[in-house]
Chains A and B, each alone.
Chain A
Amino acid sequence: MSAQSPSPRSSGQASVTRPGGARSTATSRARSLAYLIPLLAVAPFVASAQAAPKSVSSAAVASVSASVYASAYAAPSTSTAPLEFTKITLQSCLDKCHGDKAEERKDPKLGRKASVYVDEHGLDRSEHRGMICVDCHPRSFAQDPHPPARRAYCPDCHHVNETRKDGVLFADIISDFQQSVHEKKNDKFRCIHCHDAHTFQLETTRSRVFEHNKVCLRCHGSPDLFRKFADKEPPNLDKAHAWLPNRDLHWSKVRCLDCHTGYDSKSSHLILPKAQAVKKCEVCHNQNPTQLLRLYSRMRAKERAGLGFLNGFIINDSYVIGATRNKTLDFFAILIMGSTGAGILGHSFLRILAALARRRSGSSGHDEEKHS
């Protein structure tokens, strides 16, 4: 999980670059920990006031020094009576509580009980398969409910200079994310607001569009959640997208981020201000639908079947006018129209020749004949 060949884009860059300028690895690290703070407020474990720092509220985030919290959870808890565990395995956490769909604990943020169920199969399929709960969550099980994940901000494990299997640097994701509208407008957004470490997977599936859009609609479709991040009502998505015909169809087939990261973007995290969102139909309805191909960028090559259609691998999911026309059909159509045209030309030519021949032989009586 360490840096391999860094992408050209951020080579030699060990820390995250913010619009304000480069920062040292140390401050970047401290900032990483600062990201944990809202976690404490959000996670439903936090019921007992003494376990969770009282002062933590979204508003306080900026003022509280990250190091305070870094030290508060600096070492794994040495709690002596961890709820009768002898050895902590994945199974023991699931058996105790988290494998039970009905199991609930009070969520202080929501002010009501919430499920603590974790889908074991989701974790199994995720990029984090093979890890156990305590790899991410603290080993302090003295209290029930226990304190939330300490190392849970994704960059705590995925260091900024780590290259992913598909060659994308986490540093790029983090800096893109920090320059996105969300992060620029206020400092409340974290990776975990969009990603669930328990289920996160890179796999390309047909349901990716749905999964990815669900991420955005979590906030943009729920005024309550949205207001936690901004002191205003969520913008009306119907109105904002009234220019797009068949809107629901589009939203089931294209991702919000394909439009909202702007033209020719490769990033999934650099969400741009609305004025820069994609509005030109031709970027998708085109024989080279750059904006659509991003969705398939992680698809295995053998899945990109042709079937005579342009961009044949898209047609499994979508017939996109302009992008998935059938080349064979177009070829034959042009052939047929060409031969029709040629036939007409040949026919006219012969008729002209015949008429000339008739005139020469004096039998031009045909015209008068006909009208009488």
Chain B
Amino acid sequence: MSDSTGERLLFPRWLRLWHWANAVLFLTLIVTGFSLHFAGVGQGGVGFKLAVTIHNLLGVALVGVYLFYLGSMAVTGHWRQYIPKRPLFQRIFKQVLYYIWGIFKGAHHPYEACVEARFNPIQQLAYIACVFAIFPLQIVTGIALLYPDMAPPTVWGMNGLWPAAVGHSVVAYGACAFLLVHLYLALTVGEEHTGVRAMVFGDRKPGAGGAHGHPAPHESPGE
């Protein structure tokens, strides 16, 4: 149960590494992406040329990080986390009910994260869409924009790049909305920011029982 194996932690080291690398890249890409999309609107921003350079480099880095995630997922079996559990609709309903009702009454989180099931049912669905559909879509359209010569010359009478460009923007906007919800839930719904703590130190609480403090990850999580 030591941290070196990582597997017994709620969020093993590789997962946390991936998450924060992802987060940093994600935020910088959003900021530079906006200064590209709205270039010249207002005079702020980092400047078009710098934004292009940063956006290109970090975009490629994000692809690397994504591949790392896929690889680690395959090796550690983390991919099983994405398999929905039965009864699917009942579970989702329960979770939705919690967000629209239970949460106001101070009810328990119906699916507290644990090593066997890191995601709650709604999280699971959202993350399936992100990791297996939206992320690849953003990568493909991003590559098309990075190598615009590869795009078809025209699509429906317009420059062949526009579907990629529009798709890239749609996903980016979606990602911003995702980020808002993600931050809100992570920061306010777990008890005393334990979700964030777990993502930083690997575990929700040092030891069972719920004493405050001692975020040291090497202490046995006692699952």
Which of A287, A315, A370 interacts with B159 by CB under 8 Å?
A315
Interface stretch of the complex, out of A138-146, A185-193, A243-251 = A243-251
Q: Per-residue 0/1 for B142-167: is the Cβ within 8 Å of any A Cβ (1 yes, 0 no)? A: 00010011000010011101100110
* Cα–Cα distance between A282 and B149 once the two chains are bound (Å): 22
Chain B residues positioned under 8 Å from A358 (CB to CB): 105-106
B48-A348 in contact (CB<8A):
no
Chain B residues positioned under 8 Å from A281 (CB to CB): 39, 47-49, 52
Q: Residue of B at shortest CB range from A372?
A: B210
Which of A245, A344, A371 interacts with B180 by CB under 8 Å?
A344
Within B83-102, the residues touching A (CB, 8 Å) are 99
* Cα–Cα distance between A286 and B52 once the two chains are bound (Å): 14
Task: Please judge, given known A-B contacts A246-B148, A366-B106, A371-B191, whether A319 and B165 are in contact too, CB under 8 Å.
Answer: yes
Q: Is B38 an interface residue (CB 8 A)?
A: yes
Within A17-69, the residues touching B (CB, 8 Å) are none
Which of B48, B159, B169, B184 interacts with A329 by CB under 8 Å?
B169
Output the least CB separation between B102 and chain A (Å).
10
Q: Residue of A at shortest CB range from B178?
A: A340
Q: Is A316 an interface residue (CB 8 A)?
A: yes
Chain A residues positioned under 8 Å from B41 (CB to CB): 287
Q: How many residues of B contact A (CB 8 A)?
A: 40
Q: Is A336 an interface residue (CB 8 A)?
A: yes
A337-B161 in contact (CB<8A):
no
Within A311-343, the residues touching B (CB, 8 Å) are 315-319, 321-326, 329-330, 333, 336-337, 340-341
A-B contact count (CB 8 A): 110
Task: Please judge, given known A-B contacts A319-B161, A322-B37, whether A333 and B103 are in contact too, CB under 8 Å.
Answer: no
Q: Per-residue 0/1 for A277-319: is the Cβ within 8 Å of any B Cβ (1 yes, 0 no)? A: 0000110011110000000000000000001010000011111
Q: Residue of B at shortest CB range from A318?
A: B159
Output the least CB separation between A333 and chain B (Å).
4
Q: Is A355 an interface residue (CB 8 A)?
A: yes
Seed contacts A344-B181, A354-B104, A367-B191; 19 additional CB < 8 Å A-B pairs: A245-B53, A246-B149, A248-B149, A281-B52, A282-B48, A285-B36, A286-B40, A288-B40, A315-B159, A316-B154, A316-B157, A316-B158, A316-B159, A319-B162, A323-B39, A333-B173, A340-B181, A363-B106, A371-B191
Q: What would be 28 A-B contacts, judged by CB atoms less than 8 Å apart?
A: A245-B53, A281-B39, A281-B48, A281-B52, A287-B39, A288-B40, A315-B158, A317-B159, A319-B148, A319-B159, A321-B36, A322-B36, A322-B37, A323-B39, A325-B37, A325-B169, A326-B169, A329-B170, A330-B169, A333-B169, A333-B176, A336-B173, A336-B177, A340-B181, A344-B180, A347-B184, A354-B103, A363-B106
